[in-house]
Amino acid sequence: MCLPEPERLREEDPYTEHFIADFPTQIVVHRSRFQVDLNRARDAAIYLAPEQSWGLKVWQQSPSEDITTEALAFHDAYYAELKRVLTGIEHRHAKFVLVDVHSYNHRRGGPKATPTSQEKAPDINIGTFSMDRKRWAPIIDPFIEALRGQSVNGKPLDVRENISFQGKGEQTRFVHANFPKTGCAIAVEFKKIFMDEWNGEPDQATISQLRTMLTSTIPTLESALRDMA
């Protein structure tokens, strides 16, 4: 791998594990997406060309068979474990919500460059592409409204659906393919307002506020699930 660590970190989702720290069930993976991207389909999970990885050259030469075999085995193991965990939750509770947390950059031109316009880059983007939107509206709609009622650093959060991302990742697709009637997977993309995306420095105060904000939606989700029963 030839991509320098700072450039790798810039495209990762650091600190997002803190946002779900109060959720009853958590799955957190500490494996670089540049080794294997768990939110892409198996056949696209290893970045072999720059067009797969934001124009970045990841490998000096193609990774060896041993490297790709190990990476894909990890991808397989992750989804086997995810299915096992979700099947257990389904058996206990009949239905479930998976909040699939990610983050995204909005200063790609450089640390001093003008950020992506707010119109194109909401503070929180909710992706719903792979779900039966009508079926899960009783979950999604109150969840979005609960987020929109929050403020961070004194400013109301801009929360919109399918703007910067549409929720086309592998994890939400997997949930809706395997649990079409019982699993609602919501892709939640946080704009990196909680850190400096260029030097990796976290803003702990903002992280804490976002954690509290996301935690506050748990009763809303639980109530909505009960009402669907």
7-23 pLDDT, tens per residue?
Answer: 999 999 999 999 999 99
| Of the candidates 112, 147, 126, 125, the residue with the CA atom closest to the CA atom of residue 191 | 125
CA distance 224 to 121: 28
Return the minimum-mean-pLDDT range out of 2-11, 196-205, 214-223.
2-11
What is the residue range of 101's domain? Answer: 5-228
User: Has residue 229 got a pLDDT over 80?
Assistant: no
pLDDT of residue 212: 98
Per-residue pLDDT, averaged over 171-188, amounts to 98
In terms of Cβ atoms closer than 10 Å to its own Cβ (0-12, 13-18, 19+), residue 125 is buried
pLDDT of residue 71: 98
Mean pLDDT computed over every residue of the chain? 96
Per-residue pLDDT, averaged over 118-136, amounts to 98
pLDDT of residue 1: 83
Question: Using H for helix, E for strand and C for coil, what is the string for the chain?
Answer: CCCCHHHHHHCCCCCHHHHHCCCCCCCCCCCCCCCCCCCCCHHHCCCCCHHHCCCCCCCCCCCCHHHHHHHHHHHHHHHHHHHHHHHHHHHHHCCEEEEEEEEECCCCCCCCCCCCCCCCCCCEEEECCCCCCCCCHHHHHHHHHHHHCCEECCEECCEEECCCCCCCCHHHHHHHHHCCCCEEEEEEEEECCCECCCCCCECHHHHHHHHHHHHCCHHHHHHHHHHHC
pLDDT of residue 83: 99
Residue 201 identity (one-letter amino acid): E
User: Has residue 153 got a pLDDT over 70?
Assistant: yes
User: Has residue 29 got a pLDDT over 90?
Assistant: yes
Number of domains in the chain: 1
| Residue pLDDT, tens place only, 57-68 | 999 899 999 999
User: Has residue 2 got a pLDDT over 90?
Assistant: no
CATH number of 11's domain: 3.40.630.40
pLDDT of residue 141: 98
| Residue pLDDT, tens place only, 59-115 | 989 999 999 999 999 999 999 999 999 999 999 999 999 999 999 999 999 999 999
